[in-house]
Amino acid sequence: MKNSKQRVLFLCTGNSCRSQMAEGLLRQLGGDQYESLSAGSKPSGYVHPMAVEAMRELGIDISAQLSKSIDDFLPPAGQQPDVVVSVCDSAARECPAFPGPVQRIPLPFDDPADAEGSDEQKMAVFRRVRDEIKSAIEERFCDK
């Protein structure tokens, strides 16, 4: 058996907020059952500081994660995932076809980067989306 861990790729457009938080959450919650990954269809090149802060509040450090392209996971460049979770509708539409059996799961969430208002109001949106993603991951991937 090549790898007993299931490779789960969280995909959004910019790979700066939702998919980054999801990658960190599954890494923390999924134990050694999963290899948690994230990418963007049009990567922004950075991880949003408020996403980093929202995750830090849960004791999860995503500050070293990088914004990556979906192309990094397509053969021949990279090892394809077993599961692709699209955390936004745009990424679901733009997700390329992977050769072989890849399970696709659409789980769209609001983009917290679109939040308006004061920094505290924006942070509240990041926390809400983080908590929604956490609940969805616990429901789909964790035996708790």
Active-site residue, selected from the candidate residues 52, 54, 55, 95: 95
Tell me the DSSP string of 8-60: EEEEESSSSSHHHHHHHHHHHHSGGGEEEEEEESS--SS--HHHHHHHHTTT-
Q: Choose the catalytic residue: 8, 9, 11, 12.
A: 12
- Of 75, 67, 6, whose CA–CA distance to 36 is shortest? 6
Told to judge if 17 belongs to the known catalytic residues of this protein, a careful annotator would answer: no
> Is 142 one of the catalytic residues?
no
Tokens of 4: 């007993």
User: One of 88, 91, 115, 125 is an active-site residue; which one?
Assistant: 88
Q: What is the set of active-site residues?
A: 12, 88, 95
